[in-house]
Chains A and B, each alone.
Chain A
Amino acid sequence: MLLLQGLTGRKEQAQLGPAHPISALCPDLQKSSELFTLTYGALVTQLCKDYENDEDVNKQLDKMGYNIGVRLIEDFLARSNVGRCHDFRETADVIAKVAFKMYLGITPSITNWSPAGDEFSLILENNPLVDFVELPDNHSSLIYSNLLCGVLRGALEMVQMAVEAKFVQDTLKGDGVTEIRMRFIRRIEDNLPAGEE
């Protein structure tokens, strides 16, 4: 191994003893949410450098979220034992009370059902993605947490539901709450090859 050649000489094993006093000093660091939040922040910062306008950053975040959602649904179904949802109301419950709880540790409330039952809103009291975030003035059209919309769309597509998810209110932009509007578009039919059932 190339890398280790420079390490001749007095190479010694440093002892990694048990309990280190630091652990007691920084319980905050034990929470992995900060890692996720900070990493997400670094990603948005990088994308804002890479793309000239905010719309493209929004698109890119949505696309990355979609790719994550497509894979996350498998993890979710395997861990949660949730069966097939029979209507959109049930879907809303599972998203808010099980999925958001499991992955972000929050439970958004569900409001504003459309009369037809094909649209509802998720109200996020405290969105963990935006901890330590302040939007600079020149990014007024950036939808900071747009990754979430992609995740929702990608995950639901894998269980045969085409939906649209979008932010309609955001505390980062001075709104009182953060609201994601979910709209059911259609059920995706199983695409079996001809002659197979």
Chain B
Amino acid sequence: MADPVLFEFLHTEMVAELWAQDPDPGPGGQKTSLLVLEGMGFRVGQALGERLPRETLAFREELDILKFLCKDLWVAVFHKQMDSLRTNHQGTYVLQDNSFPLLVRMASGLQYLEEAPKFLAFTCGLLRGTLSTLGVKSLVTASVAALPACKFQVVIQKP
């Protein structure tokens, strides 16, 4: 079993190396470099989702799937549960983590707020990828008001 520190260091290094370096910088270059990290997260999330046993694919409701992300997926990835889950019952969910592990070491408060988005892109993809394996199309965005708390917003795409 790999030590959690390895993932943290690898993630930091991925952000540092891949952030500015997009092979195809379109208009709004920064946005696309977020997409590279998000895309990698998506693939990892998809694969993690595929590793689930068949039974888990039989979720009855959307809310159950979101609860699964907040609890099981978060524990598997970050060794803690998400702190809260809110919804407007119209396909929008807000998942809040009050001490997001990938931000904890950076700062407590507003310092480095501008740097924070880079460290969330991979995880947004991770959530979207896992949802995709579970048969749910979604858009996932993240926002930070003050480190190390952050919110992930999941908008389910209706078919």
Contact = CB atoms under 8 A, between A and B. Distances in A.
Contacts of B92: 6-7
A33 B67 contact: no
Interface stretch (A36-44, A88-96, A111-119, A180-188): A36-44
Contact of A68 (B10, B79, B151): B10
A114 to B, nearest CB: 30
Interface string A98-126: 00001111000000000000000000000
Contacts of A39: 7, 10-11, 14, 40, 44
B67 to A, nearest CB: 7
B84 interface: yes
A26 to B, nearest CB: 5
A174 interface: no
B43 A42 contact: yes
Main secondary structure of the interface of A (DSSP, over half): helix
Interface string B17-54: 11001010000000000001001110110011001110
Contact of A14 (B10, B87, B90, B143): B87
Contacts of A3: 94, 141, 143, 151, 153
B54 to A, nearest CB: 9
Interface in A64-85: 64, 67-68, 71-72, 75
Nearest to A66: B13
Nearest to B37: A46
Given A2-B143, A30-B75, A43-B10, A25 B56 contact: yes
A22 B72 contact: yes
Given A102-B3, A105-B2, A12 B87 contact: yes
Contacts of A104: 2-3, 6
A70 to B, nearest CB: 10
A107 to B, nearest CB: 13
B82 interface: yes
A16 interface: yes
Interface residues of B, number: 58
Nearest to B22: A50
Interface of B: 1-7, 9-11, 13-14, 16-18, 21, 23, 36, 39-41, 43-44, 47-48, 51-53, 55-56, 63, 66-68, 70-73, 75-77, 79, 81-82, 84-90, 92, 94, 141, 143, 145, 151, 153
Given A13-B85, A28-B51, A39-B10, 11 more contacts: A1-B145, A2-B143, A7-B88, A11-B88, A12-B87, A16-B70, A33-B1, A46-B40, A60-B17, A64-B17, A68-B10
27 contacts: A3-B153, A4-B151, A10-B90, A14-B85, A14-B87, A26-B53, A29-B52, A32-B2, A33-B1, A34-B51, A35-B44, A35-B76, A36-B2, A39-B44, A40-B10, A42-B41, A42-B44, A43-B14, A45-B43, A46-B39, A49-B23, A50-B23, A64-B17, A103-B2, A103-B6, A104-B2, A128-B2
